[in-house]
Structure 1
Amino acid sequence: MKLKWAYGCEVRDGNPVMIRKDSLWEALGLPWQEHKVLAFVGGGGKTTSMFCLADELAEQGKTVIVTTSTKIRKPEKRLVVEAETASAVRDFMKAHEEFFSAGKGQVLVTGLSSPEGKFQGMELSELEKLGGLCDALLVEADGAKMLPLKIPREGEPVLLKGTHAVIGCAGLDCLGQTWEEKCFRYELADQVFDREKGPVITPAHAARILTSERGTRKGAEKLEYRILLNKADDESRLSAGAEVLKALGNEWAGCCVITGHLEG
């Protein structure tokens, strides 16, 4: 999928506003540093957003490695090296220096095929070495069974040591839908909400999960954190994104990004 639009958000005159940006990277507003490690967590659109950002960084001349600390859909039409160790990835890159020369820009996906046909990460200790091989290491660190919203259980997400920023994702198609249909691990909602949540997911619910230390922000309390609202693919969904932005309040509005993608 190609990016249709990306909006960064900020507070102006006491109100959160959406501002059109030229790229996902610009909208995220993350400070650049060498060997940046970015983790994508939460629900809907993590993989799409991760590859969108990887391609943008490659266009800037960055060498980007994409992987997972859990499991992702096996990527198609991507440069992939199946490897169990960081040294095997390094050897592959050395053997293909024409692709990885400084300033050229390239996206390399690494991991292992799993029995169920997905792509899984190597051992955590090996994943943590990958950052030294690239300008940016993008890691899908959470699974949500293709659902747009998620509440993590014990042991989730799986963040690497040295992670610079966490991007907490949610799909706007969760709004107005039942918890059972659209929220992975909805049965854990009591760890986020201290009162009855009601039958359907509201913008306030999504905002609470995305900012809670027991929700999507779990493990990112001392890190750069961004909220990424995905699937704002039409004007109606953009309006829904604006409702979540309002529910986030001024404390979190400046951390929010809203994106839509084109099919194909």
Structure 2
Amino acid sequence: MPGARVITAVGAGGKTSLINALADEASARGRRVLLTTTTHMVREPALITDVDLALATLNPVFVTLMNTVEPPAAPDATLRETKTGLVTPGPATPTPNPDVVPLTNTVEPQAASEASLRVTKTGFVIVVGREVADDKFTGPEASDLNRLIRAADLTVIEGDGSRRLPFKVPAAHEPVVPEATDVLLIVVGLTALGRPLAEVCCRLDEASRILETVDLGAQRPGNPGRSAPSHDPGAELLTPQLAASLIKAGYLDNPRLATWVGRRAVVLNQADDAHLDHLGRELAAYLPGELVLLASNRNPI
């Protein structure tokens, strides 16, 4: 979505890799990118915990105008070099859902350097947050985040934890999406499809609650009637239709996320072979009216 300055990714199934790719692509195009989180992420060696230093690194001129004194720039060690291209939209491919847009990795990386901090034509990525236990970090305070967003060209935020599982149904307090978010990306890992929910779903209890209202019979060949939920919800296989129902209940129909209707996309990630690509397109057909992106790390679509 052109003009977006704040992108928040929620869901599961390659979220961290996706936001890093978005950040790296933008930096390769000369933008000064802030990468952070509203949840917990694995701590990066180049994490900046000093908000004033981060502001000075993102936009020294902005800080000079605000504070009248220009703070020193961050050293090379605080910058993460661009290593990955963004998954960018390609030509649309006919599918049952006309909003499905294939994506691919196409951009060559460009490393940031200390000299680039004050040269607007050369971009870089900085990771900003507060250290927490277990080698993880969380995001800045809300007021600091708003200052950082104003100083950056692009801010990319991870707004949902998933315990490294490829599918998620959020709890009532999730996800945490900053109000400044222009575009909301709802990420789904296609490797979750066809597997028992207990193996792939973060917040299985939430998924189980939704299962009580889903017509499971309509999803099983040869069983046209309504079927009661399994006594063991975790044993239910995550079919494309069931995944769509859970995505709708957890994210698309979530009143806490109503602000982003029309400014969101469902990213069906990990479409790395023909089988997963097929499952992704089948899932997309159950999401009419939504912008759906198919993403692959290995085989561009």
Q: TM-score, normalised by structure 1?
A: 0.78
SS at match of 2:129: strand
Query: Could you list the runs of 5+ residues in structure 1 that have no partner in the other structure?
Result: 1-29
Residue in 2 aligned with 1:17? none
1:121 aligns with 2:139: yes
Asked if structure 1 preserves the Cα contact closer than 8 Å seen for 2:169 and 2:247, the reply is no
In 1, the alpha carbon distance for the partners of 2:246 and 2:144 equals 31
Work out whether residues 42 and 137 of structure 2, in 8 Å CA contact, stay in contact via their aligned partners in 1. yes
1:139-169 deviations in Å (ceiling 9; x for gaps): 0011010111111112211111211111000
- From 153, 160, 163, the counterpart of 1:135: 153
C-alpha displacement of 1:235: 1.6
* Counterpart-to-counterpart distance in 1, 2:41 and 2:170: 17
Unaligned runs of 5+ in 2: 61-71, 74-113, 215-227, 231-235
Give yes or no for contact 2:186–2:251 (8 Å, CA) kept in 1.
no
Paired residue secondary structure (1:116): coil
Q: Name which of 1, 9, 14 aligns with 1:45.
A: 14
Match of 1:91 among 46, 56, 66: 56
Q: Residue 277 of structure 2 aligns with which residue?
A: 238
Letter in 1 for 2:187: C
Summarize deviations over 1:204-227 as a string: whole Å, max 9, x none: 122223233x33664332221110
Distance, in Å, in 2 between the alignment partners of 1:149 and 1:163 is 22
What's 1:189 paired with?
Answer: 207
Tell me which amino acid in the other structure corresponds to 2:150. Answer: G
Bigger radius of gyration? 2
Q: Distance in 2 between matches of 1:192 and 1:84?
A: 42
Residue aligned with 1:156, SS? coil
Asked whether the 8 Å contact 2:7–2:155 carries over to 1, the reply is: yes
The residue aligned with 1:25 is none
Contact 2:10–2:187 under 8 Å retained in 1: yes
- Cα RMSD over matched residues? 2.1
Contact 1:81 1:89 in 2 (8 A): no
Q: Is the 8 A contact 2:7 2:157 kept in 1?
A: yes
Q: Please tell me the residue identity of whatever aligns with 2:54.
A: V
Q: Please, what TM-score do these two structures have when normalized by structure 2?
A: 0.69
* Post-superposition offset of 1:191: 5.2
Partner of residue 106, structure 2: none
Question: Distance in 1 between the 2:202 and 2:19 partners?
Answer: 20
Number of residue pairs aligned between Structure 1 and Structure 2: 224
What is the aligned partner in structure 2 of residue 64 from structure 1? Answer: 33
Q: 1:92 to 1:57 in 2, by over 3 A?
A: closer
Deviation at 1:115, TM superposition (A): 1.8
Q: Equivalences for 1:19-34 in 2 at 5 Å?
A: 30-33=1-4
Q: Distance in 2 between matches of 1:217 and 1:98?
A: 46
Q: 2:246: which partner in 1? A: 209
Do the aligned residues in 2 keep the contact of 1:204 with 1:248 (CA within 8 Å)? no
One-letter amino acid of the structure 1 residue matched with residue 38 of structure 2: S
1:10-25 to 2 correspondences below 5 Å: none
Percent sequence identity over aligned pairs:
27
CA distance in 2 between partners of 1:117 and 1:134 (Å): 26
Distance 1:191 1:136 in 2: 37
Deviation at 1:114, TM superposition (A): 2.1
